Amino acid sequence: MFRDVKKIVKNSIFVLISIIISCLVMINNISYAQTQNTQSSLRHLVSAEKVEAAGGQQYNQIIYQAKQKGILLDNRNDMYIRINKISQRLIKNIGNINPRAKNWIWEINVLNDSQTNAFCMPGGKIVVYSGIIDKLNLTDAEIAVVLSHEISHALQEHAREQMAKQQLTNVGASLISNILGLRDIGNIALKAGAGLLSLKFSRDDETDADLIGLDISARAGYDPRASIVLWKKMIKIAGDNKALQWVSTHPVGKNRIKILEQKLPELMPIFTKINPVLAHKKYISNNKDIPDVE
């Protein structure tokens, strides 16, 4: 009798664990089939106001620290003027991807820092590190690709959705950990596993940001073919390591470039209407090791 009860309890635990793990996988796949112009309802688990406020706080902290270090570029600086001009053109062409964006107070700042980085916080706070411009020798069109990608993340509320997913996966990890008596050690291991489940979702976000960002860039009058040269430059400095395709939130290398190339026939007519002269010429690479783009 006792053995039967013990067996039932044991089987029930495994069934419960299986249900929870299935839920985690389902969370990962909720937005798998979403199209470029739709957003997963999962993001509604966290308020946009909360995410934008958190983004604003982090942005203010970064700017404060930059001022303390003396690396915040003045608005009279040539690089700042260049980045601000490109950003303003992009912002004017964001369309109706996110209705909240019309009320965002956009800010653009440039840091004199060797990091190859740039981001746009929820709420429209843009930061560009000079390192990404200098190390990659970016043209204006290539800068526009980088910035429109980051702006697209903010417009599509990817940070908000990731926060919601993280909350759900943490709940699932805690439940399994408590059932198995793993306590903190179990939570750490299971949360790590939950993070791996989220990686595919994150790569989907990156692809969406690439494609929608490139659309914004083309409508702002920047050559979408610049995206091909940009990512070839990225491969050159980072290496096209296949392992990164799994552990990184960015689709890297040839796979990313292939997706962008497939988008060009749709975007080139948009760019051609704005700048027919440049559109009928090759996109000229300023890197001798990277060919021009027809």
- For the annotated catalytic residues, the residue numbers are 150
Q: Is the distance from CB of 156 to CB of 212 less than 8 angstroms?
A: yes
Using alpha carbons, select from 216, 99, 221 the residue that is nearest to residue 151: 216
The secondary structure of 158-181 as a DSSP string is: HHHHHHHHHHHHHHHHHHHHHHHT
Q: Which residues, listed in sequence order, are joined to residue 109 by a DSSP beta bridge?
A: 127
Phi and psi angles of residue 222, each rounded to the nearest 5 degrees, phi first: -105, 140
Using alpha carbons, select from 126, 148, 146, 149 the residue that is nearest to residue 137: 146
Written as six digits, the tokens of 242 are: 């296949």
Q: Is the distance from CB of 69 to CB of 127 less than 8 angstroms?
A: no
Burial of residue 68 (number of CB atoms within 10 Å: 0-12, 13-18, 19+): exposed
Q: Whole-angstrom Cα distance, residue 145 to residue 11? A: 53
Q: Whole-angstrom Cα distance, residue 11 to residue 287? A: 62
At 72 the three-state DSSP class reads strand
Q: Whole-angstrom Cα distance, residue 70 to residue 85? A: 23
Q: Is the distance from CB of 123 to CB of 56 less than 8 angstroms?
A: yes
